[in-house]
């Protein structure tokens, strides 16, 4: 099969809706815009949440409390199993070695180690955070988990 032999499946291509071309076309007179008013005009749209002048729901409901979403810090994560797959010559693991191995982006300075997978060799791992299971697996394999 070549590119020029490709064809759409039947029903995939629809003809363009021609509005305003007379009543017989099915989209005549108001061209599918209903009656008169703001929505019938070109450029006429109603902003989300507008309820026709009635007090909108988002203004009726109380807005209280604090949400940390804007101020959160997201750390790149690496699993213990991925550390095991690193080159055998590597004994010290930090953000720079993980970036060199392609496990995190090169711009990242901090990392969190998660406990998924198994580790069978001693590694000295320096990271911003460790889960309890990750720390336990690293120390069980004879390595060190250093919080930077």
Q: Which CATH class is domain 77-147?
A: alpha beta
Provide mean pLDDT across the span 52-69. Answer: 93
Q: CA-to-CA distance for 119 and 142, rounded, in angstroms?
A: 10
Whole-number average pLDDT of the chain: 94
Q: Rounded to an integer, what is the distance from CA 114 to the centroid of its chain?
A: 20
How sure is the predictor about 80, in pLDDT bands with cuts at 50, 70 and 90?
very high
3-class SS shares of the chain: helix, strand, coil, % to 5: 25, 10, 65
- Assign 125 to helix, strand or coil: strand
Per residue in 113-123, pLDDT (tens digit) is: 999 999 999 99
Predicted local confidence at residue 44, as pLDDT: 87
Residues 55 and 49: their CA atoms lie apart, in Å, by 10
Confirm if 99 and 135 have CB atoms less than 8 A apart: no
The predicted-structure confidence for 11-20, as pLDDT tens digits, reads as follows 999 999 999 9
Does the structure show a pLDDT above 90 at 25?
A: no
pLDDT of the residue at 63: 87
Q: Mean of the pLDDT values across residues 7-11? A: 95
pLDDT at 132 over 90: yes
């Amino acid at each position: 099969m070549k590119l020029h032999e490709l064809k759409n499946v039947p029903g995939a291509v629809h003809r363009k809706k021609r509005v305003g071309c007379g009543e017989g076309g099915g989209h005549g007179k108001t061209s599918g815009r209903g009656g008169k008013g703001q929505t019938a005009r070109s450029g006429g749209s109603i902003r989300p949440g507008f309820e026709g002048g009635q007090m909108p729901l988002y203004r009726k409901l109380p807005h209280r409390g604090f949400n940390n979403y804007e101020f959160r810090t997201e750390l790149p994560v690496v699993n213990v199993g991925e550390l095991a797959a690193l080159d055998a010559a590597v004994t010290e693991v930090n953000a720079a070695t993980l970036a060199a191995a392609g496990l995190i982006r090169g711009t990242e300075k901090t990392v969190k180690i998660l406990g998924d997978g198994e580790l069978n060799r001693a590694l000295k791992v320096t990271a911003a955070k460790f889960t309890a299971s990750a720390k336990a697996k690293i120390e069980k394999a004879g390595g060190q988990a250093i919080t930077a």
